[in-house]
Structure 1
Amino acid sequence: MSLTITSPAFRDGEVIPIRHTRDGENLSPPLAWRDAPPETRSYVLIVEDPDAPSGTFRHWVLYNIPAGETGLPEGTSAQVLRGAGECVNGFGKTRYDGPQPPKGHGPHHYHFRLAALDAPRLDIPASTRAEDVWAKVQPHIIAEAEVVGVYER
């Protein structure tokens, strides 16, 4: 088996409910994962929109997720998940900010990418940009999985 991630809020390739967007309540969706490699010491999650007009837009990074976790409840933040950290997203905030594509731009695909890491903890300042976190974790990735949600305005 290999690492997999799903969301009870939407199926892979289907529409993200409005409550998980900036047009709604802006709550991170619940996520669940399984079949992590036994050597997993922590996880990192990044949410990206590669369809953004100016290139890939990062909506959230949550890192130092403990290895014992098998998912995240709706509305998770670093304050809720003890020991985890969040970095600066494309909106300039250190939190989850859901989909909000330009009106009339068509459907955007939001990749919820989870990586299992061989490191128990990464020392990353909260002021770090989301894309820089993903670059920093590359040498520690032992497995990856993603679930993709779609949203348009």
Structure 2
Amino acid sequence: MTENDPFARLPEVPGFTVTSSTLRDGDALPLAQLSGIFGVPGGGDVSPQLSWRGAPPETRGYAVTMYDPDAPTGSGFWHWAVADLPASVTELPEGVTDLPGAAFALPNDARAARFIGGAPPAGHGPHRYFITVHALDTDQIGVPADGTPAYLGFTMASHILARATLHATAETPA
């Protein structure tokens, strides 16, 4: 998956493993992870369950993001961004709202500090979603709570030790 890959031009880093009881890598997003807020009938705007293992031992914290590079915006669409997860955390439950430690959700591209599900425009074709856990060399990335996911990405770029990504898709027929 290299076409419009959000990590293609970033420095290569090792990988580790992320899994989910909510979805499998490469599958379509379940209805609960689609966006009722953006008009998908039955969409739940529920964040997926995530578990990860194998991050480098020097990991001091994590960030989690969900990004759609296929959104018709010219800049993609950030659905979710969580910063400052403690290194001791290796799982987020489905629908998490109470984040552990000093972790917080940044406003996504809908300007809501929460998970917003996928919602490709009808007839726009399939969209890809990169759900990524970033292992960091710091426990506090220094992004303000009202910062953007793009700013988080820029700020953490030099702090990423490893990353783990699940890929999902969604399409709304015309």
Q: Is the 8 A contact 2:22 2:94 kept in 1?
A: no
Question: Normalised by the size of structure 1, how large is the TM-score?
Answer: 0.94
Query: Structure 1 residues 12-21 or 81-90, which shifts more?
Result: 81-90
Q: How far is the alpha carbon of 1:2 from its aligned partner? A: 4.3
In structure 2, distance between residues paired with 1:2 and 1:93: 29
In structure 1, distance between residues paired with 2:124 and 2:47: 23
Q: Is the 8 A contact 2:34 2:118 kept in 1?
A: yes
Partner of 2:156: 137
Q: How far is the alpha carbon of 1:114 from its aligned partner? A: 1.2
Task: Give deviations 1:8-51, integer Å, cap 9, x for gaps.
Answer: 21111101100111131111010111101100000001110011
Partner of 2:78: 58
Unaligned runs of 5+ in 1: none
Q: Is the 8 A contact 1:2 1:37 kept in 2?
A: no
What SS is found at the alignment partner of 2:65? strand
Structure 1 moving runs of 4+ over 4 Å: none
Matches within 5 A, 1:35-74: 35-54=54-73, 55-74=75-94
The percent identity for this pair of structures is 38
Query: Structure 1 residues 123-132 or 39-48, which shifts more?
Result: 123-132
In structure 1, distance between residues paired with 2:54 and 2:166: 15
Q: How far is the alpha carbon of 1:113 from its aligned partner? A: 1.3
In structure 2, distance between residues paired with 1:80 and 1:66: 10
Output the aligned Cα RMSD: 1.4
What SS is found at the alignment partner of 2:96? coil
Question: Normalised by the size of structure 2, how large is the TM-score?
Answer: 0.83
Q: Which has the higher strand share?
A: 1
Q: How far is the alpha carbon of 1:122 from its aligned partner? A: 2.2
Unaligned runs of 5+ in 2: 1-13
Q: Which has the higher contact order (CA 8 A, sep 6+)?
A: 1
Matched to 1:149, the amino acid is A
Partner of 2:31: 18
